[in-house]
Structure 1
Amino acid sequence: MASEMPVVNAEFGDRPTIEFPTEIAPAGLKVVELFEGNGPMVRRGDTVTVNYHGVVWGKDTPFDSSFDRHQPATFGIGVGQVIKGWDQTVPGHNVGSRLVVSIPPEYGYGSRGVPQAGIGGEDTLVFVIDIISTR
């Protein structure tokens, strides 16, 4: 599975660069842990703080990036405060981990997408997520 996922260059904490191995995204929700942290494990219902970088599969320009804003994001995980793809992939990983997640529309913004962000209803989203803390 890792071979069909994007290649991410950068260490935990640094703004990632993403290279796509194919024009076509893999089917389904996929997560690869690029670096395993040694902090506490994130559990459903926790409040997590993360840095993230989100792009549409195959695109260079992020539609959203806390790295670019220099401001991590904090929210409840596994409780419907973020898209389903995050709720299902972030829990179970440790603080200090870097993940790359491929999220098809049904786990992201659905068939409507988010046109104002450049996300179409058929677009697969890719997020690089650095887990900073959990409580």
Structure 2
Amino acid sequence: MQKIGKIVVVAAAALSLAACGQDAKTEPASAPPTAAPTSDAAAPATQSKGRECTADDIKTTGKFGEKPEITIPADCDPPKKLITKDLSEGTGNPAKTGQQLKMNYLLVTWSDKKVLDNSYDRGETFDLNLGAGEVIPGWDQGLAGIKQGGRRLLIIPPDLAYGEGGRGIKPNETLVFVTDAVTVPGNQG
């Protein structure tokens, strides 16, 4: 009986770890306290397509507040620098370092072009203190200046994301987010 109890505890712990990205109260895969350092040695050998993608190459659907879809093309390479593009402007004061933001997001990984995580399905925003290192550097940098009601595309290279991988992210993975600024302090409504 004691042996069965141990197996149940181990199985429950494994299920808890596997489901951590699904719990609305846990940090999503998009928001680690810090990013892991990068290593070119772990980078997969891929043939260059001859050009880096731009924000205009990434196709998105949906309006602010709606779960978006992201389509990453196969005919260009992931960008090596952070790219941001406002898909809708929003109104009011722009977000500044030190402010507590409430965001919705959808994450697609570049290598397999699949949705890895999103807050829309959970029905709860993701809260962060902008610039405090609570999230990957690509979010702290890429969300600066977003306005309440704004939707922004973020294309985040590995050195501003998870570097060598972790939290369900492959090593040297480029991340593509559509983010909605639900609340930016200093704005009414």
Question: TM-score normalised to the size of structure 1?
Answer: 0.89
CA, structure 1 residues 60+67, in 2 after alignment: closer, same or farther (shift >3 Å)?
A: farther
Map Cα deviations across residues 57-92 of structure 1 (whole Å, 9 max, x no partner). 154432211011111111101110110000001011
- Rg comparison, structure with higher value: 2
1:22: which partner in 2?
A: 74
Q: Which amino acid aligns with 1:15?
A: K
Q: Report the alpha carbon displacement of residue 39 of structure 1 after superposing the two structures with TM.
A: 2.7
Q: Report the alpha carbon displacement of residue 55 of structure 1 after superposing the two structures with TM.
A: 1.3
Match of 1:127 among 152, 170, 177: 177
Q: Which amino acid aligns with 1:96?
A: G
What is the identity percentage for the equivalent residue pairs of Structure 1 and Structure 2?
34
SS of match in other structure, 1:44: coil
The answer to whether the aligner puts 1:96 opposite 2:146 as a matched pair is: no
What is the number of residues matched between the two proteins? 131
Partners of 1:97 and 1:40 lie apart in 2 by: 11
SS of match in other structure, 1:22: coil
Partners of 2:67 and 2:111 lie apart in 1 by: 18
Runs of 4+ more than 3 Å apart: 58-61
Q: Which amino acid aligns with 1:61?
A: K
Q: In structure 1, list runs of 5 or more residues that go unmatched.
A: none
Partners of 2:95 and 2:154 lie apart in 1 by: 16
- Contact preservation (8 Å) 1:20, 1:58: no
- Contact preservation (8 Å) 2:94, 2:145: yes
Match of 2:100 among 25, 28, 47: 47
Map Cα deviations across residues 25-51 of structure 1 (whole Å, 9 max, x no partner). 122111111100013210011000000
Partners of 2:68 and 2:84 lie apart in 1 by: 16
Partners of 1:49 and 1:121 lie apart in 2 by: 28
Question: TM-score normalised to the size of structure 2?
Answer: 0.65
